[in-house]
């Protein structure tokens, strides 16, 4: 119960800090520019511009070698309070005259009341929509965040490394493992600098809060697609309740990782590109008509692009794919001189703004981070594979991929006249493409087969409808469905990319792993599924009152949820890659709270090393086992804590969460573990030290057995010194105290 209160308090602190840094700070500092803007514009401005500003400030200070938490806090707090003091009312309020103070207080009171009335009126006019949207998003946040309160682990080993990069920023070091997009790390660092929130808590819960931005950004994009204003909420509702076979690809959404942190940028890029295309007209300044179109939509498009680059290169690739499709569907408007030049300039500026700190890092001699080098090598290897495939393509007996012609096909084609051979090849390959998309794409991603089949045929019908609509330009229906075509194409492309990961011999490089792109693919596909409902509600809105259709929208969404729940199609809970017992997290927090800073060393697997930063020291348990075999080995702190798993975990095991039936289907996972033993302690650990995960993976049982044996021997030698700090059936924490002038020699070779 005590730990539950602790985690809840940490979550609340992060929520308050997040709201201040992401929304209140830019709303105050840029209030003159944001004055009179719509709520959607203000939201989009805050979640893009603010991320770019924080990323630029932190990394530029790092390049100048003056990065520290006090300086960053002084800059951010300073700009905030200077902006407040620039307000005339506030300056008058701070003067020494009583009558001016009273006047200004009453004036401020009137302004606040006026703003509340205005906000209340805006909300009232769309009350039904806001309530339904809020309910759907809260449901999604609870579902995706549920595991963070059930298991306080990293979720996936990537989070551990990114936590280390955040800690490096605290030490004033940027790009510790090479040049890499660091927008997420910089944002977390600023929350730590401004509010003193522990970086471990931020890594646990930040994305649980930030995922709201993902949902709202998707909603903003879908509003540009659909005509009936409840349709985007239908899509989000279906996205958050329907069981999907490939839902394992969505388990990263609530994890604090760079790509997931920046996913909202792709939707905002698309939304404001559509808005720019729709609204771009000649700009009149004074009595002159400007040659080029630049408006607020293009500004936010540029900043969303910069956010994607600053967050993760996969986000930028996804944003490019989505925006490229939208651009192709509006190619005539895009290539108008007054539009194309402005759009090109905004793309160049967005790339330059986000890339400037990373370019500065490369100029200063910092190499690229390993994953970026890996991505470049992967693309090169794809090209090499393509050349190899072309070299063997003459052999009709080798089936290289889904579109490769068989020997029977070549025989049939060979009988045709030369003029018809190419046409027949196109027909056969088109048939193979459709079959492969159906089997490797829709049926594999949306099992069971009936569901995949329905989604496939609805997509085909909507594609044909959009093509016909663009040719015939239906009047009212054409107006309703004007934004459908790009989304249908995006949906098909995303399914193709996922199918290409399954059967990668399509002649197209795998530019994004399947589990990275599936969440967006599901959203686009569900958007296509909701297009018939959007048409129905939009048409009937001409014959029925708005109130009736609002009620019908509530009934439809509620009915979908009840049907999915009762028929067993509700999604299962997410899962973590379990790397340590929750008791280890509890003990580490307890040590941080109870013992003085820098007075202790924790001997444990590497997962604790980031959690205790900067409060104490850490010694990896594998290093400990190596050094106790030396002649002399000490740990120079007053207290030494040694973690031992009596039941060593199976490392990186998949652990499904469980919870209430209304939220999801429980996984009821059992923790997989082995047993420490005397026999295991006698085995050789050397063969498991060849790679990074070796001691914690195959060698974990041996390692924990050896440490447990050492603790028992040390306890026998010093029974009054060795104590137990915490113990349960799976985990035990030993500790002992030593004097500064009389440190224990922990080497095995020494007689205790």
Query: DSSP string of 104-138?
Result: HHHHHHHHHHHHHHHHHHHHHHTHHHHHHHHHHHH
End position of a domain, from candidates 244, 266, 288: 266
Query: SS3 for 752?
Result: coil
Residue 59 placed within a domain = yes
Domain boundary among 251, 266, 281: 266
SS3 content of the chain, % helix, strand, coil (to 5): 65, 5, 30
The pLDDT, as a whole number, for residue 270 is 95
Residue 349 lies in a domain: no
Are 79 and 6 in a shared domain? yes
Q: Is the pLDDT of residue 101 over 90?
A: no
Nearest alpha carbon to residue 76 among 50, 41, 94: 50
- For residue 642, is it within any domain? yes
Q: Which CA distances in Å does 97 have to 93, 101, 105?
A: 9, 6, 12
Q: Are residues 18 and 133 in the same domain?
A: yes
Report, as an integer, the average pLDDT of 10-24: 96
Task: Give the domain range for residue 256.
Answer: 2-86+126-266
Cα distance between residue 529 and residue 235, in whole Å: 8
Shared domain for 138 and 18, answered yes or no, is yes
Residues 517 and 599 in one domain: no
In a domain, 215, yes or no: yes
11-22 average pLDDT score: 96
Whether residue 378 is contained in a domain is answered as: no
More confident residue, 205 or 442: 205
Residue 513 domain-assigned?
Answer: yes
Cβ contact 255:146 at 8 Å: no
Better pLDDT: 503 or 745? 745
Strand pairing class (639-645; 617-620) = unpaired
In angstroms, the CA 90 to CA 81 distance is 11
Q: Is residue 275 part of a domain?
A: no
Q: Which residues have a Cβ under 8 Å from the Cβ of 192 and sit 6 or more positions away?
A: 69, 166, 170, 198, 199, 202
- Is the domain of 623 the same as that of 674? yes
At 125 the pLDDT is 59
Output the 3-class SS for 245-313. HHHHHHCCCCCCCHHHHCCHHHHHHHHHHHHHHHHCCCCEECCEECCCCCCHHHHHHHHHHHHHHHHCH
Cα 651 to Cα 272: distance, rounded to the nearest angstrom: 44
CA Rg value for the chain: 30
Same domain, 589 and 528: no
Torsion over CA: 185, 191, 196, 200 (sign): negative
Instruction: Confirm if 559 and 582 have CB atoms less than 8 A apart.
Output: no
Domain co-membership, 507 together with 640: no
632 with 729, same domain?
yes
Please state, as a whole number, how many other Cβ atoms lie within 10 Å of the Cβ of residue 396. Answer: 14
Tokens describing residue 357: 């700190």
Total count of residues recorded for the chain: 752
| pTM for the model | 0.89
Whole-number percent of the chain with pLDDT over 90: 51
- DSSP 8-state symbol, 736: E
Q: What is the DSSP string of 588-648?
A: HHHHHHHS-TTSEEEEE-THHHHHTTTTSEEEEHHHHHHHTTSS-----SSEEEEEEESS-
Read off the pLDDT of residues 690-736 as tens digits, 9 standing for 90 and up.
666 677 788 899 999 999 999 999 999 888 899 999 999 999 999 99
Q: Domain for residue 693, yes or no?
A: yes
DSSP label at 729?
A: S
pLDDT at 507: 67
Question: What's the mean per-residue pLDDT of the chain?
Answer: 85
Q: How far is CA 695 from CA 419, 649, 676, 685, in A?
A: 65, 12, 14, 7
Q: Are 498 and 644 in the same domain?
A: no
Predicted confidence (pLDDT) at residue 645 exceeds the cutoff of 60: yes
What is the β-pairing status of strands 723-727 and 731-737?
antiparallel
Q: How confident is the model at residue 279 (pLDDT cuts 50, 70, 90)?
A: confident
Distance CA 398, CA 386 (A): 15
Local confidence band at 441 (pLDDT 50, 70, 90 cut-offs): confident
Domain termination site, one of 540, 562, 585? 540
pLDDT tens digits for range 136-154: 999 999 998 888 888 888 8
Q: Say if residue 724 is exposed, middle or buried (CB neighbours under 10 Å; 0-12, 13-18, 19+).
A: exposed
Comparing CA positions, the residue from 527, 539, 468, 564 lying closest to residue 244 is 564
pLDDT given for residue 99 in this prediction: 47
Mean pLDDT of 160-170: 95
SS3 570: strand
Could you report the per-residue pLDDT of 296-323, keeping only the tens digit for each?
899 999 999 999 999 999 999 999 999 9
Lowest mean pLDDT across 262-271, 415-424, 637-646, 661-670? 415-424
The rounded percent of the chain whose pLDDT value lies above 70 is 85
d(CA 576, CA 144): 12
In terms of domains, do 520 and 603 share one?
A: no
CA angle 735, 741, 742 (to 5 degrees): 50
- H-run or E-run covering 371: helix 370-391
Identify whether residues 611 and 526 lie together within a single domain: no
Please check the confidence at residue 364 and state whether its pLDDT lies above 60: yes
The model's pLDDT over 31-68, given as tens digits with 9 standing for 90+, comes to 999 988 999 999 999 999 999 999 999 999 999 999 99
Total tally of structural domains belonging to the chain: 3
Residues 532 and 584 in one domain: no
Question: Any residues with CB less than 8 A from the CB of 341 and at least 6 apart, and which?
Answer: 292
Cα separation, 211 vs 253, whole angstroms: 7
Q: Please give the Cα distance from 745 to 752 (Å, whole number).
A: 8
Q: Which of 263-267, 375-379, 661-665 has the lowest mean pLDDT?
A: 375-379
């Amino acid at each position: 119960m005590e730990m539950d209160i602790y985690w809840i308090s940490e979550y609340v602190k992060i929520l308050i800090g997040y709201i201040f840094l992401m929304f209140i700070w830019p709303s105050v500092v840029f209030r003159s520019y944001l004055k009179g803007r719509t709520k959607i514009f203000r939201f989009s401005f805050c979640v893009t511009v603010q991320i770019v500003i924080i990323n630029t400030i932190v990394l530029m200070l790092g390049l100048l070698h003056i990065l520290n938490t006090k300086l960053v806090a002084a800059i951010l707090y300073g700009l905030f309070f200077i902006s407040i003091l620039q307000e005339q009312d506030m300056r008058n309020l701070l003067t020494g005259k009583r009558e001016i103070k009273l006047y200004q207080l009453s004036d401020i009171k009137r302004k606040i009341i006026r703003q509340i009335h205005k906000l209340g009126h805006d909300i009232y006019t769309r009350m039904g929509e806001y309530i339904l949207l809020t309910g759907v998003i809260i449901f999604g946040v609870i579902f995706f965040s549920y595991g963070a309160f059930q298991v306080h682990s990293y979720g996936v080993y990537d989070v551990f490394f990114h936590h280390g990069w955040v800690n490096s920023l605290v030490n004033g070091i940027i790009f510790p493992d090479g040049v890499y997009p660091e927008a997420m790390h910089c944002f977390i660092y600023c929350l730590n600098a401004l509010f003193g929130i522990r970086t471990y808590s931020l890594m646990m819960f930040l994305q649980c809060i930030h995922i709201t931005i993902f949902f709202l950004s998707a909603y903003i994009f879908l509003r540009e697609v659909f005509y009936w204003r409840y349709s985007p909420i239908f899509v989000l509702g279906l996205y958050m309740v329907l069981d999907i076979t490939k839902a394992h690809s969505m388990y990263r959404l609530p994890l604090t990782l760079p790509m997931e942190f920046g996913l909202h940028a792709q939707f905002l890029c698309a939304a404001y590109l559509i808005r720019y295309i729709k609204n771009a007209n000649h700009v009149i300044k004074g009595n002159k008509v400007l040659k080029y179109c630049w408006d607020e939509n293009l500004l936010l498009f540029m900043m969303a692009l910069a956010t994607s680059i600053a967050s993760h290169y996969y986000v930028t690739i996804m944003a490019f794919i989505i925006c490229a499709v939208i651009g192709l569907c509006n190619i005539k408007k895009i290539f108008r001189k007054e539009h194309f030049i402005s759009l090109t300039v905004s793309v160049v500026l967005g790339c330059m703004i986000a890339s400037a700190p990373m370019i500065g890092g490369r100029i200063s001699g910092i190499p690229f981070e390993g994953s970026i080098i890996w991505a470049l090598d992967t693309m090169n290897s794809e090209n090499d594979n393509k050349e190899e495939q072309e070299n063997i393509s003459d052999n009709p007996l080798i089936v290289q991929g889904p579109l490769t012609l068989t020997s029977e096909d070549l025989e049939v084609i060979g009988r045709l006249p030369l003029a018809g051979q190419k046409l027949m090849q196109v027909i056969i390959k088109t048939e193979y493409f459709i079959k492969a998309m159906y089997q490797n794409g829709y049926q594999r991603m949306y099992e069971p087969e009936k569901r995949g089949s329905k989604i496939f045929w609805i997509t085909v019908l909507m594609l044909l409808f959009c093509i016909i609509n663009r040719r015939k330009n239906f009047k009212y229906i054409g107006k309703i469905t004007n934004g459908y075509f790009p989304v249908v194409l995006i949906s098909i492309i995303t399914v193709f990319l996922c199918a290409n990961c399954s059967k990668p011999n399509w002649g197209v490089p795998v530019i994004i792993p399947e589990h990275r792109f599936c969440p967006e693919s599901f959203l686009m596909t569900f958007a296509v599924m909701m297009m018939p409902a959007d048409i129905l509600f939009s048409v009937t809105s001409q014959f029925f009152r708005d109130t009736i259709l609002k009620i019908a929208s509530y009934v439809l969404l509620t009915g979908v949820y009840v049907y999915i729940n009762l028929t067993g199609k509700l999604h299962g809970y997410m899962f973590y890659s379990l790397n340590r017992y929750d008791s280890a997290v509890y003990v580490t927090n307890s040590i941080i709270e109870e013992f003085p800073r820098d007075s202790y060393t924790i001997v444990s697997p590497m997962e604790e090393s980031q959690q205790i930063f900067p409060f104490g020291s850490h010694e990896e348990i594998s290093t400990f086992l190596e050094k106790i075999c030396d002649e002399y080995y000490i740990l120079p702190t007053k207290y030494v804590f040694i973690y031992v798993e009596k039941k060593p975990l199976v490392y990186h095991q998949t652990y499904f969460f469980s919870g209430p039936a209304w939220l999801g289907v429980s996984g009821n996972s059992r923790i997989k573990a082995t047993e420490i033993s005397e026999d295991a302690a006698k085995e050789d650990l050397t063969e498991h030290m060849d790679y990074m995960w070796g001691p914690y993976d195959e060698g974990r049982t041996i390692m924990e057995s050896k440490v447990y044996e050492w603790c028992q021997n040390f306890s026998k030698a010093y029974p009054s010194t060795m104590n137990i700090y915490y113990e349960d059936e799976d985990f035990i924490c030993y500790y002992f105290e030593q004097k500064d002038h009389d440190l224990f020699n922990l080497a095995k070779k020494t007689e205790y």
